[in-house]
Chains A and B, each alone.
Chain A
Amino acid sequence: MMLDTVRDITTPELIEIRLHPAGFLPRGFAFFIDTILRWLLMLLIAIPSIFIGDLGIGLFLISIFLIEWFYPVFFEVVFQGKTPGKHLVGLKVLNDNGTPISLSASIIRNFLRFADFFPLFYLFGLISMLTNKEFRRLGDIAAGTIVVYTEPAARRFSVPEAIPVPPDFPLSRDTQKTIVSFAERSVGLTKPRQEELAALLPQLSQTMHPQEPQGAARLISIANFLIGRKS
């Protein structure tokens, strides 16, 4: 079995979706940001309520309760599973079948924070996240939710420009994909390493015509052809 951290889901329409569950480090960081924001919010409420007197203190205590318990629920349900901290780190909460999180699931996972916090400073939550295959804390397991990385926005091909050259023979879909990704990665690779990799595919990277580019340069040219650049 090959180890990886993804969760593959097949929808009823037979569409494959791949979720990338997030581990303790980004989640801890997001929680840290959220905590600071919560405290700032409480401070903002505290300052005017001092001047109101006893009623102000009462209102302040109620607002502490609401912020402490409903801050994550509110943001997760209204902003597609993203609290401000999660948004900054690049995370979101989903139901574990990939659908947007529902109100009840969000309430369960956030009210069970108490179990994760036990005995102090989220020790049980950390243990649960370390041992669970999808890095879920106890609240996630109970609510059937999962915290995933938000996918980066669809990017355009970053294949370096070269004169497009058609390959000598038709290529399968996977091969085309691999060659394009090689061309995209070639920017970060050293020249000798590029040639080393190109030498693994002699049929593609070598050609009889001496005036055409050879080796890695030829693979990049083929990639240019494959993504449809015109000479």
Chain B
Amino acid sequence: MQLDRLAIVLRTRPANEAIDLGTRMAMHWFKPLYIAWLCFSLPVIGVLFGLAYWADLSYTGTYLLIWWIKPMLDRMALFVISRAVFGSAPTLRQSMKAIPTLLFKTRLIRALTWARFSPYRSLTLPVDVLEGIKGPSARIRRKAISNYIGINAAVLTLFGFVVEKVFPFCALAFIAMISIDSNSYTDELLSDLWRNNFSYHSLTALGFYIFGILLWEPIYVAAGFSLYLKRRSDIEAWDIELEFRKIEKKSRITSSTLFSVLFLVLTMGISGYASHSYASQNNSVIRQEALANAPEKLQQILQQPEYGSKQIRKQLKLMKETQGKPDEKVQYSPNPISTNPNNTLLALTGAGQWMLWGILALVVMAIAYFIIIRLPDIRGQKGQKLAPPAQIAGLDIQPESLPDNIAEVALSMIHSGDLRSALSLLFRGSLSVLAHRDRVMFRSSDTEQDCIRLVKRAELNSVGFFINLTQLWLAQAYAHRSPDTTKLEQLCREWPTHYDHQSQWEAR
């Protein structure tokens, strides 16, 4: 018994809570439980009905017969619910395969004879079916299990008895309520049941009784099984065992990690001192073998649940995709117009198709018109927009405002002693050339530092010169600190090498 596969929470719970858990179990595994249960019990009840009809049994006789056979049907419900609780709800095929075992190896004769009237039926059923013990030891076992909680099992059985008797009444009352002439219906019903023979009404009552059994009995079995589990968990301290295993596992994990760290430290330490090791011939042979075996081993390892073993996924696919080969597919989708020209609907769709083609052509033409005719205009507008500003930082940089030979004019200004206007002229000339010839994107709001940044980004050869010039200009303009005249003269001579004469680049 693998406790860690249990699908219910193990704790010390009172017997009543165990019964509640049983109903939860029955509802949780509703589908496998009821499918297997119905597949087994409906044919059995059908056979019994046939027998009763053949033997000309009275209504009460049939009623008793079906009541009597219940322990046999219970075995199937217990089989499914016990498997489900221990981690794997059986498929219908597995349940059907288990029928011979359930019928012949679970002490069915005892259950159908003297143990039929035992109030602990649901509680001792798992002992018979699941534990597989016989004789005196089984008797002791049943006694041990039904100690203390026998009263709860008896109350459960009593409750089930009441439910089964009352359910047909409830159902018939429901029918009487919704039938048009409810008084005569109930009168007929009661008289038929009283006369105790087969008729439409007694059959309905019997049918509801069977329906009630079919609904209730799995819940009853599950509740009994839950009680049984509670009792065994109490006797054998299953919850404690599970906790102990958890503690041991945890301590093993921590000790193993500790050990591995220790091992790592030790081996690292040793390898530090270790002498040279040589790969021997032997070693390479082993290595080859290991390489040869690797794929299989890898497969084995990958099959382990930790690595997410093989999963089969099912998904819906269109029939068309799986059908036939590609060339058949071409046949499958012929041109609707060519195959069925008379069909107006298809003709309409054909016309629609042509219209779509026409629209596509129009769109293509429009795009072509836009690219060929309109784009140059737009670009022209854009070019206007991108024209260099007339002035930067308050300095007029339009080529028209500058003299033709800037460097010479500047030199003459230096000689006449007007250093400030000379520097200003050089700086303005530089900006003008940069803006118009090198297409550096100045804006009129740019400061001198912005200009330096933009020139740097443009990656021109004249960066160094321009920075130098700008710094001199800044010192002159804002701090009134004039550079040496010699330095300034050198600047004037150097200027044309970076910034050609205006006429030259304007002509180009």
Contacts and interface: CB of A to CB of B under 8 A. Distances in A.
A130 B27 contact: yes
Contacts of B243: 174, 178, 181
Nearest to B30: A131
A40 B20 CA distance: 31
Contact of B244 (A20, A29, A193, A197): A197
Interface in B242-288: 243-245, 247-248, 251
Contacts of B11: 4
Most chain B CB neighbours (cut-off 10 Å) among A25, A29, A188, A202: A25
Contacts of B155: 25, 29
Nearest to B178: A119
Given A3-B8, A123-B170, A178-B247, A185 B23 contact: no
Given A25-B159, A149-B17, A5 B24 contact: yes
B94 interface: no
B138 to A, nearest CB: 18
B77 interface: no
Interface in B157-181: 159, 163, 166-167, 169-171, 173-174, 177
B16 A203 contact: no
Contact of B241 (A28, A131, A149, A197): A197
Contact of B16 (A25, A126, A185): A25
A200 B156 contact: no
B329 interface: no
B376 interface: no
Given A3-B24, A193-B236, A23 B16 contact: yes
A36 to B, nearest CB: 16
Nearest to A190: B235
A51 interface: no
A175 interface: yes
A106 B67 CA distance: 40
Contacts of A28: 159
A175 B247 contact: yes
Interface in A147-193: 149, 174-175, 178, 181-182, 185, 188-189, 193
A178 B23 contact: no
Given A119-B174, A182-B237, A4 B21 contact: yes
B16 A3 contact: no
Nearest to B152: A25
A222 to B, nearest CB: 13
Interface residues of B, number: 43
A26 B23 CA distance: 13
A26 B16 contact: yes
A23 B244 contact: no
Contact of A197 (B13, B159, B173, B237): B237
B24 A201 contact: no
Contacts of A120: 166, 169-170, 173-174
A133 B244 contact: no
Interface in A111-163: 119-121, 123, 126, 130-131, 133, 135, 149
Interface of B is mostly: helix
B25 interface: yes
B161 to A, nearest CB: 13
B452 to A, nearest CB: 61
A2 interface: yes
A23 B23 contact: yes
A71 interface: no
Given A131-B27, A188-B234, A5 B20 contact: yes
A27 B270 CA distance: 72
A175 B244 CA distance: 8
A73 interface: no
Contacts of B241: 197, 200
A216 B251 CA distance: 19
Contacts of A123: 166-167, 170-171, 174
B30 to A, nearest CB: 9
A137 to B, nearest CB: 14
A120 B155 CA distance: 22
A75 interface: no
A201 B235 contact: no
A5 B21 contact: yes
B28 interface: yes
Given A3-B25, A188-B234, A21 B170 contact: no
B371 interface: no
Most chain B CB neighbours (cut-off 10 Å) among A23, A29, A178: A23
A209 B248 CA distance: 22
Nearest to A123: B170
B140 to A, nearest CB: 13
B17 A178 contact: no
Contacts of A26: 16
A30 to B, nearest CB: 11
9 contacts: A20-B17, A23-B16, A23-B23, A120-B173, A123-B167, A178-B244, A193-B236, A197-B240, A197-B244
